[in-house]
Structure 1
């Protein structure tokens, strides 16, 4: 029997298998590519990274767009092409993205897949569909607010040309169905997942004590944690101001931040300067910048926390930070937007706050917690159980396998 050839294409410029600095999406793609659907052969296309030299991986499965002499010359040439011209020809203007996507197109022609699953960027989905229409094309949307992200014309293209639609939250599927109620293609929510061996199985009071001691903190100190981008969208300044409020009241709250602007693809340097200025002037002894922490060491970070925060203002998909926090028994204060409302049951495994007036809502929630910290202990077990029941690798793979079988 001939195998069905399935190619998973990463629209972002992160490599798969992931490097130690990779965000969650490459790890999810790697896990899905290891699916064991009988009669199907899975491959992944992603951008090459020098970290791959130190990894042992299946070069037949993981295909990479490498920085060849031709690609380097093409990218250098694109810097001299006006933005309007690049957008008119390619649909976007970033030279490295243009080179990456054009190289993917050449590789797709060579591989001749039966099924193409495009992750993230819709422009790449459209290009691959137009390039190779004989394949089944599935778009994997990894955010919320479908209309805002794609726009009316792209959603119409999706409805008319996609053979399947995946999302890592429920709302995009509901939104697509409401716009096109008669759209009869397979649609499925496949949430992100956590490897319990890496997180839940490493919950340890002793590790928590050791990690805190490295930062000159004790078991009595109250510690908030956040891992992710240092952007305005994540309300870092509002969080700093909330911590300053408690400082003015004589209550010392510590914040651990795992992340580095140096590895962000679109860093907001002006905002970063603002938060560092505020830090220097008000919170230098309470905010602890830990830099980027590789995935294999994140459990140490989570062990040290009393509570996590995810204060996205505008949109949020299926945050790996949120899932990893819960898997370590750490409740999370999260804004009531996007995928957060699908993960957090208010008062059960965390707290949902309104995304309007975030500073004041954080202050009220933290004040409540600080008056009765025992409620966090009750939430901790519920947080871990929620992950075990909804967000393990096995659950994610089972849903993906059942979905992909429809296209054999």
Structure 2
């Protein structure tokens, strides 16, 4: 049975440059390569060949310019039973026309059915061509249903996950060793480390964390804010200027390769996601929870579907106030017993619900439902564990 996974035109697969969708595809591909004849489409990258067979997965990489048309041409030449389109609803009619006998599953990782993204007529056309839609959170699912109520019966939430082998908890020997190594590397061995990780933009709110540092340093003179990520040049320049008064306590790392991110979470004493707008549900939550790093987030969008206040993290209601972040960070630094309970619960929740095995199983159930309904084809019995992902680590290391 032939399955195609079509990444967006933004980043290549494997996730040599990061990205939540490429990382998700990396995580589920080993599971599906043993069950399907699997092809993954993504854009070209100088670090990767245009086409290769790796660990049972056929990777086809196409030029970024006219990417959707190039994918459609590939689909015409093949005969896929099922095509999974990631986060590009407007491409669905083109792909369905290119391969009319294929079933199409569309996954949404942002509010791609909003009025800003497509017209009402375009949304109707997409719904006519998809067999099922999956969303990264219930928040995104609801945003689709509010505009297109008829879609309710074909939408399912499929949460993303992590590879637990890449995230030894900070209380384990391996986790402690990595933590000590990276704290020494960044010169923060004796510091209280606050981590922000993500795209640098006003909507993500890192400027609020910098604003918070003056008050945080009044009580915690050894606090350091590490800002990991890159973004818009003008905004990044603004952040650097904003940090000048406390420049010894703010470290900018720029882009961090995906294989390094688990180590940054282990290095940190608290991870803060300072989102200022409705978030679909960022994968950094799964990563922080897996590492056993205390987690602070805002009550925006789908964040609280995974993070529960004082259960496995802290949720800020007044996200536009630096004082709210100061208060939450103060709790983490001063209440170790609460932190211990929250981080253990967070790790347990990832182990039981948010690994890539869980993601693959949920997607597989969607695929099976679609194919059974279409032509009676059924899937092989599910695997009990996720295949070895060590080849991805070797790729990134090289």
TM-score interval (norm. to shorter): 0.7 to 0.9
| Contact 2:90-2:126 at 8 Å conserved across structures | no
- Answer yes or no: is the 8 Å Cα contact 1:246–1:253 preserved in 2: yes
Question: 164, 184, 199: which one pairs with 1:196?
Answer: 164
Q: In the alignment, what sits opposite 1:363? A: 326
Q: Distance in 2 between matches of 1:194 and 1:307?
A: 19
Tell me, yes or no, if the aligned pair for 1:316 and 1:337 is still in contact at 8 Å: yes
After TM superposition, the structure 1 = structure 2 runs for residues 8-407 of structure 1, keeping only pairs within 5 Å, are: 8-19=5-16, 21-36=17-32, 40-53=36-49, 57=54, 61-66=58-63, 96=64, 98-144=65-111, 146-147=113-114, 150-151=117-118, 153=120, 154-183=122-151, 186-200=154-168, 203=172, 204-219=175-190, 221-248=191-218, 251-259=221-229, 261=230, 267-279=231-243, 281-354=244-317, 356-406=319-369, 407=371
Q: Secondary structure of 1:140's partner?
A: strand
TM-score (normalizing by structure 2): 0.83
| Cα distance change on mapping 1:298 and 1:357 into 2, 3 Å | closer
Unpaired runs of at least 5, structure 2: 372-376, 378-398
**In 1, Cα distance between equivalents of 2:169 and 2:11:** 28
Q: Distance in 1 between matches of 2:56 and 2:180?
A: 42
Structure 1 residue 359 displacement after superposition: 1.7
Which deviates more from structure 2 when the two are superposed, residues 395-404 or residues 172-181? 172-181
Distance 2:225 2:62 in 1: 39
For structure 1, the 5+ residue unaligned runs are 67-95, 262-266
The answer to whether the Cα contact below 8 Å between 1:144 and 1:315 also exists between their aligned partners in 2 is no
Q: CA RMSD in A?
A: 2.6
Does the 8 A contact of 1:122 with 1:150 survive in 2? no
1:139/1:355 Cα in 2 relative to 1: closer, same or farther (>3 Å)?
farther
**Could you list the per-position Cα deviations for residues 221-241 of structure 1 after superposition, in whole angstroms to 9, with x for gaps in the alignment?**
211112211111111111100
Contact 2:276 2:320 in 1 (8 A): no
Do the aligned partners of residues 127 and 327 (structure 1) sit closer, same or farther apart at CA in structure 2, a change above 3 Å counting? same
What is the CA–CA distance in structure 1 between the aligned matches of 2:29 and 2:73, rounded to whole Å? 21
* Cα shift at 1:6: 1.8
Q: Structure 1 pair 130/358, CA: closer, same or farther in 2 (3 Å)?
A: farther
Is the 1:116–1:137 contact (alpha carbons within 8 Å) kept by the matching residues of 2?
yes
Q: Deviations over 1:154-212 (max 9, x none)?
A: 43233333211011112222343454445475432111111111003674233323322
- Distance in 2 (CA, whole Å) between partners of 1:380 and 1:39 is 35
| Aligned residues between the structures | 366
In structure 2, do the counterparts of structure 1 residues 209 and 126 end up closer, same or farther at CA, with 3 Å as the change threshold? Answer: same
Q: Distance in 1 between matches of 2:278 and 2:85?
A: 21
